[in-house]
Amino acid sequence: MEVEITHKVDASEKGKDGKYDYYYEYDLYTFKDKNITIIARSYTTESDEIHFLRAVQNEKHRPISKADLKLPIFNEIIPYLKNINKIKINWLSNSGYISVE
């Protein structure tokens, strides 16, 4: 499994008062094996939490499904995340975030 971590900031322009209307800082995790890529996000304000957002398979992006959580790549992803102190592990379903465990 290959892991790529990219630090991102999503923010509005600063207002006249020097403040942002919105400001989100997070790390985007990309987990790749030969069959699938899994994308997850962890906000810096909630460093012990991570959310699986989507999968990429055959160059097509799609939502994570419950069946994806049983794929072999997750046998590597979950221990990796726990080792870096991500203890609240969720996936984005049609009804919101659901705990992986």
Q: Are 37 and 17 in contact (CB under 8 A)?
A: no
Mean pLDDT per 10-residue interval, the chain, length 101 residues: 97 92 96 95 96 94 92 95 96 90 75
Q: Are 50 and 90 in contact (CB under 8 A)?
A: yes
Range of the domain at 85: 2-99
Tell me the Cα Rg of the chain. Answer: 15
pTM across the whole model: 0.89
Tell me the C-alpha distance between 86 and 96, whole Å: 19
pLDDT score for 101 = 75
pLDDT for res 63: 94
Contact criterion met (CB below 8 Å) for 85 and 50: no
State residue 39's pLDDT score. Answer: 97
